[in-house]
Amino acid sequence: MRSDCLAKERSGIWKHGCWRLSLVALVLPGVGFGQQTMVSAMPPTPLQVVSAMIAHEDDNSAHKDTYEFLSKERSARTGGQVWTERVVETSFGRVRFLLAVDGKPLSAEQEGSERGRLAEIVADPEAFLAKERAQKDDEAQARKMLDLLPKAFVFDNVRLKDGVWTMDFHPNPEYSAHGIEERVLCAMSGTVVIDAGQERLMHVEGRLPQDVSIGFGLVATVKAGSHFSSERADEDGHWRTLHVLTNIQGKAVLFKSVGKDTEVTRSEFHYLQPGMTVAQAVALAECPARTAGEGVSSCTAGGQ
């Protein structure tokens, strides 16, 4: 079977069984799949493709950029409404300024309340920092899935087209999940899309094909059809998450509803100088509309 797989890989015809067998191949330390292709005539295995992508994502996560963007979010935090916010992303967390609710601009009273909330952040930055550290957003779900991909899933239907890898994944029966969240994620099947040139994640999605019962259903049951997805793109040389969708439905003990229904869309990214303070981030978040070339100094100057 191994010789058949090698022959098919050399001919460029990649079938399901061959890709599953190739998952046992080791990833060369420090070598991306683009570089490894130059060393060997063999195409990279799915595991090598995924591992190279994760290495690049880890390297990017270690270097926090400072930037601002426009966010439209519907979640439990927004009470199911669509909040349009200006967000300043910093190394210490996200400072947000609400601009509109369900497409309607804030009233003068609502805007005053928002500015009062930001003033409290400036007055007590430590409380804000502690709250930010405790936050866990939906991007963490996609990040958790990425970390699990090499060990908890097997890949098939692998294809390379126009510089983009696309592969389907489904649970690896030999992997034992730990914890409730991991058990749910590891029961999902889905698709991962990777930019072959930059070795960066473009899209990942997962869906539960059947119910997942925790404690034989006595603790909780997460319903089939629960799903999540994350969409990313290169924005002016920086890879950013543009869209996140999470829909988890189920029942917990004593018939309490458990779930998460969130959708976030991001746009209009502007990149800023690093080293921003909490006060500077607040000043930028509540600054009136400005051109892309203007930054914190123009906002703080205008507010003095």
Q: Model confidence over 90-132: pLDDT tens digits?
A: 888 899 999 999 999 999 999 999 999 999 999 999 888 888 8
| Residue-range domain boundaries for the chain | 2-60+138-267, 66-135+273-303
Q: Give the containing element (helix H, strand E) for 193.
A: strand 189-195
Q: How far apart are CA 148 and CA 214, in angstroms?
A: 19
Angle between the 125-134 and 278-285 helix axes, to the nearest 10 degrees?
A: 80
The pTM for the full model equals 0.77
* Nearest one of 220, 227, 122 to 185, comparing CA atoms: 227
3-state secondary structure of 91: coil
- DSSP for 202-263? EEEEEE-SS-EEETTTTSEEEPTT-EEEEEEEEETTEEEEEEEEEEEEEEEGGG-EEEEEEE
Which residue stretches of the chain have pLDDT < 70?
A: 1-41, 62, 135-142, 216-218, 253-258, 288-304
Longest dimension (CA), the chain: 74
Task: Judge whether 20 and 155 are in contact, CB under 8 Å.
Answer: yes
Residue type, 219: V
pLDDT in tens, 225-253: 999 999 999 998 889 999 999 999 987 76
Task: Judge whether 292 and 268 are in contact, CB under 8 Å.
Answer: no
Q: How far apart are CA 180 and CA 220, in angstroms?
A: 9
